[in-house]
Amino acid sequence: MTDALPATDAEAAVELERLALLIGEADRAYHERDAPELSDAEYDALRRRNDAIEMAFPHLVRPDSPSARVGAAASSGFGKLRHGVPMLSLDNAFGPEDFSEFAERARRFLGDVSLSFVGEPKIDGLSISLTYENGALRHAATRGDGSEGEDVTANIRTIAGIPHSLPTPCPARIEIRGEVFITKADFLALNAAQEAAGQKIFANPRNAAAGSLRQLDPAITAARPLRLFAYAMGEASEAVASTHWGYLERLRAWGFSVNDRSTQLADVAAALAFQDQMAADRAALAYDIDGVVYKIDDLDLQSRLGFVGRAPRWAIAWKFPAERATTTLQAILIQVGRTGALTPVAALAAVNVGGVLVTRATLHNEDEIARKDIRVGDTVVLQRAGDVIPQIVEVLAHQEGAAPFMPLTHCPVCGSAAVRPQGEVVRRCTGGLICAAQAEERLIHLASRGAFDIEGLGEKTVREFFTEDLLKTPADIFRLRDHEAAIAAREGWGALSARNLLQAIETRRAISLERFIFGLGIRRIGEANAKLLARHYTSFANWRTQMLDAVQIGSEARSDLGAILRIGPAIATELAEFFAEPRNVETMDALAAQLTIADAAAP
CA–CA separation, 187 and 205 (whole Å): 6
* Torsion angles phi and psi, residue 443, rounded to 5: -65, -40
Secondary structure, 3-state, 372-428:
HCCCCCCEEEEEECCCCCCEEEEEEECCCCCCCCCCCCECCCCCCEEECCCCCCCEE
| Catalytic hit among 122, 184, 295, 531 | 122
122 is catalytic: yes
Burial class from Cβ neighbours inside 10 Å (0-12, 13-18, 19+) for residue 423 reads: exposed
- Alpha-carbon gap, residue 87 to 143, rounded angstroms: 6
Residues 6+ away with beta carbon under 8 Å from 493: 487
Q: Give dist(CA 532, CA 520) in Å, integer.
A: 15
- Residues in CB range of 49: below 8 A, 6 or more apart: 1, 15, 19
What is the distance between the alpha carbons of residues 311 and 537, in angstroms, rounded to a whole number? 38
Distances (CA, A) of 4 to 15, 47, 128, 342: 12, 15, 38, 27
Residues 6+ apart with CB under 8 A from 137: 130, 131, 153, 156, 157, 162, 163, 164, 165
Any idea what DSSP says for residue 165?
Answer: B
User: Taking the chain, what is the end-to-end CA distance rounded to the nearest angstrom?
Assistant: 33
Q: Rounded CA gap, 182 and 382, in Å? A: 24
Per the document, the length of the chain is 603
Tell me the β-bridge partners of 383.
324, 391
Contact in structure between 511 and 450 (CB atoms under 8 Å): no
The region, left, alpha or beta by phi > 0 then psi within -120 to 50, assigned to residue 580 is alpha
Residue pair 408/400 in contact by the 8 Å Cβ criterion: no
Instruction: Please give the C-alpha separations between residue 160 and each of 163, 223, 247, 482, in angstroms, as whole numbers.
Output: 8, 11, 22, 44
Q: Contact 368/379 with Cβ under 8 angstroms?
A: no
Residues identified as active-site = 122
